[in-house]
Amino acid sequence: MTSKQAMSSNEQERLLCYNGEVLVFQLSKGNFADKEPTKTPILHVRRMVFDRGTKVFVQKSTGFFTIKEENSHLKIMCCNCVSDFRTGINLPYIVIEKNKKNNVFEYFLLILHSTNKFEMRLSFKLGYEMKDGLRVLNGPLILWRHVKAFFFISSQTGKVVSVSGNFSSIQWAGEIENLGMVLLGLKECCLSEEECTQEPSKSDYAIWNTKFCVYSLESQEVLSDIYIIPPAYSSVVTYVHICATEIIKNQLRISLIALTRKNQLISFQNGTPKNVCQLPFGDPCAVQLMDSGGGNLFFVVSFISNNACAVWKESFQVAAKWEKLSLVLIDDFIGSGTEQVLLLFKDSLNSDCLTSFKITDLGKINYSSEPSDCNEDDLFEDKQENRYLVVPPLETGLKVCFSSFRELRQHLLLKEKIISKSYKALINLVQGKDDNTSSAEEKECLVPLCGEEENSVHILDEKLSDNFQDSEQLVEKIWYRVIDDSLVVGVKTTSSLKLAHGRSFCTSCSIP
């Protein structure tokens, strides 16, 4: 699962989540158990899981990887989860930088398997340090920026390739079905001669000289530059998260959300802004999607100021906010089948355990390392306002159930009524009595079993009224069948009725 990584007070320690576990990576000299460190760097990993009984994170397993590089400065660059093109399975990875004295930088990408064994999937050298725009995509593939150009290297080719598109920035990079690996960013545009003769202001130039484009890394060409984000937003959008894509008439259509410099979360549908949410903190930097089940989807926004908030996708309103955080992770930490957000507060990261945290789905699931009487400022001041997140779906479900129950009950009562009326109407018809309880429409439904003409029913009715005077048993057999949406009732008379060959008749009524 995609997750946000975190760095503790020790810059050589990183955390991420994977399949409900919290992985703690630490780069150190020697083993943790050694009293005196050695010169050989070792990368350690700890898998931690949440124990619902004790309500704490416990260590599940450990692993390590020895880096045979002495007298070099090593640094953890990033860690997350990506799919390996060989299997298509998402696995945790970690990127490590090695810097020697001759200013040659070497980078390693290690993948962690379920057995806690590390595998080196990619290694390469650069004559400069990667400092800006480092991203790791499925493959794995590493993308970075140097000066004003973007470069990438794939584990399939092992070669550094420059991005041909003249991008000033990249807001999103990922894989789109049927399109492969793509980039979404701002691309500088060439103005026409008429536009060049004018002298636009700096703000106008920034808006109209750039546009958002979708670029394919495989074909190295622009796939689309329309139906993305209007040019007027080009100078304020700082982060993009693509929610859905589709191709209509050979044109790519995109649904996405974006963060802006004005501290807003905006949703765009095919290039048109749909919803805007004013965020409670400044400088938003990342968005994660959380599915807490029951149709409740939240955008969890992280801020540079170590704060975070959750925005309900349905109403696009702030549902919760938290302050003084070290880490925000989203996964199914308690094994409920739905996602929760794990909030790690400052000074909660160390090598042994997670000391200060909270797990919540903004509903009924709430676990915290703090005492129950602690001051919780993460939700709205009036916690009752948060009930609308859970109560409306429950009310809707109950209304649907009651409505279905009433419809079923009415349907059964109507069937019983139709059967009863059809039975009485048929008996009265055979006995030659006036059927005052039957409507004209019900009587018109009577049809002969053997396919005679419709007027035979009326002739039979007249003969029965003239010839039948006694109270002998007249009906030998009555039957009914349900055929499709109709109820068919038939009767076979006894020989005492002076009818040719003792006829049988039936009536048919529609069942709603």
For the stretch 427-464, pLDDT in tens is 887 777 765 555 555 555 554 444 444 444 444 444 44
Nearest to 65 by CA among 103, 108, 102, 14: 108
pLDDT of residue 395: 74
Residue 99 and residue 105 in contact, taking contact as beta carbons nearer than 8 Å: yes
pLDDT bracket for residue 474 (50, 70, 90): low
Specify the residue for token string 């479900």: 397
Lowest mean pLDDT among 74-78, 252-256, 361-365, 500-504: 500-504
Is the predicted pLDDT of residue 178 greater than 70, yes or no?
A: yes
CATH number corresponding to 1-140+151-157? 2.40.128
- The tokens describing 414, both together, are 């109507």
The proportion of the chain whose per-residue pLDDT surpasses 90, expressed as a percent, equals 44
Nearest to 210 by CA among 169, 152, 238: 169
Type of residue numbered 478: I
**What is the pTM for the complete model shown?**
0.68
Nearest to 376 by CA among 331, 301, 306, 321: 321
In terms of DSSP H, where are the helices of 180-306? 193-197, 202-208
pLDDT of residue 346: 77
Q: Coil, helix or strand for 316?
A: coil
